[in-house]
Amino acid sequence: MRTSRATATDAERVIDGLTFSLRSTLRALGDTLPEGLLSISVRADDLDLAPHLPATARAHYWSRQSSGHSYTGLGVAASIRCSGADRLEVLADEFSALGTRWQHYGPAGRPDPVAFIGFAFSPNETPGAMWHDMANTELVVPELLFRESGDQRWLIFSADVGGRTNPVDLELHWASLLETLCTAPVERHEERMPPLTMRRIEDRGWQAPIAQALMDIRSGSLEKVVLTRRVKYSTSRRLRWGKVLQALAAGHEDCARFAVTRPGFALLGVSPERLLSLDNGMVIADALAGTAPRGERSGEDRELVQQLLADPKALEEHTIVVNQIREALAPSCSGLVVPPAPGIMSLPKVHHLWSPLRGGLRNGSGLLDLAGRLHPTPAVGGSPRDAALNWLNDNEKGGRGWYTGAYGWLDASGNGELSVVLRCSIVNDTSAELFAGAGIVADSVADQELAETEWKLRTMRGALELG
């Protein structure tokens, strides 16, 4: 990964060079642009932006440090919105149709354009006002994408071109987006920013839901159900979204950092749980269930790991998730490899039991097809799936929006990755709502489950305090 950065003093030179490359490709297409979705790729090796999210733009961000992949998108060149039980099937069909009129130009070896994808936990929920205009399920092809993969950096400009699209106007619009991406700082004069203070103003208790869940599980009508806790804070000033994402980087190299922003609003988070990735026919899905806090000293930390590996309640919860993922993937994967025992994913605030399942894709399935079979896993819903979802529909009030749904990317060749929306916060100008959950099984103890949510909330709360 490169370490050089485009500074304020050379930003104009970088923008001029990139604009020249864009103009050259546009002019080679002639005065009449091909109709349909048009993408133009430009090498951008001197550009280092991540994470850079202009506060006034509609933007998307997704990054996994360990893989070297990072995507920052501005604007909307094309979008697909849907909801309902068949939402991912509809999304797959419409994305396929979009691909038939999608043309891509640029140097040899250019990477595919990328669309950002996100969806709510429930297929039928309309996210409320607190989620601004986010749809239940949405795919967005950004007008400007900064794609970083290893040592290669690319800008991909996209537009839905009609018969009257003027190439000069299009170039000017793309150049304006590029300038916004390159030169609009997350926060000017940040050294003058006062320290941030946060005050808890609302904590949606779950003592009644957990008591009901334990009663129903012990009666035999459920095996597991996952409850959500929501905690709202007021903040003493506006949060800097890029700073929050930077604060989430350390210790989360194997996690996905993500953001979906609107002017004055952002969904920010870091997810340890990969719902699904597809890379040239190789499928990976994470089973992540069973949690313990980090110890303050190395000896204590090792002891907590050993306790987690031997905890019957955590192992039961984890096995339920592994079994359902195996059943969901088996029809579409050959050579499916399931770890014989869970390993440990150690994050800055918590340890998790972790089992990555791998296999080769078959039967012509795609990323969205597999996601429809996997979601929701027992790690975010419960088991048996239908019984748990019915229970949540009757007992969980207020809806989850995109929390415990999924977010990620899909490229024009069908490769992509979706992460479960966890360790996240909805951020407005001077407020932040944090989410955490815990899986309830027969042996669960209410106070211990509440403590588990506190361990999980520390991740986002600490990052927000640095924003």
198-465: which CATH topology? Answer: Anthranilate synthase (3.60.120)
pLDDT of residue 189: 43
Longest dimension (CA), the chain: 71
pLDDT of residue 1: 36
246 phi, psi to nearest 5 deg: -65, -40
pLDDT of residue 2: 40
Question: Do residues 271 and 359 make contact, with C-beta atoms less than 8 angstroms apart?
Answer: no
pLDDT of residue 192: 64
Check if 273 is active-site. yes
User: Which is the catalytic residue, given 224, 243, 349, 456?
Assistant: 224
Distance CA 47, CA 114 (A): 18
User: Which is the catalytic residue, given 138, 143, 171, 273?
Assistant: 273
Q: Which residues contact 296 (CB under 8 A, 6 or more apart)?
A: none
Spatial CA neighbour of 270 closest among 112, 121, 458, 22 = 458
> What does the radius of gyration of the chain's CA atoms come to, in whole angstroms?
22
pLDDT of residue 220: 92
Q: What is the pTM of this model?
A: 0.93
With a cut of 50, list the residues of the chain below it in pLDDT.
1-9, 186-189
- Domain extent listing, the chain: 11-111+139-190, 198-465
Distance CA 226, CA 163 (A): 51
Q: What is the dihedral of CA 453, 454, 458, 460, to 10 degrees?
A: 40
Check if 224 is active-site. yes
- Three-state SS for 466? coil
pLDDT of residue 165: 85
pLDDT of residue 54: 75
Residue 99 burial by Cβ neighbours in a 10 Å radius (0-12, 13-18, 19+): middle
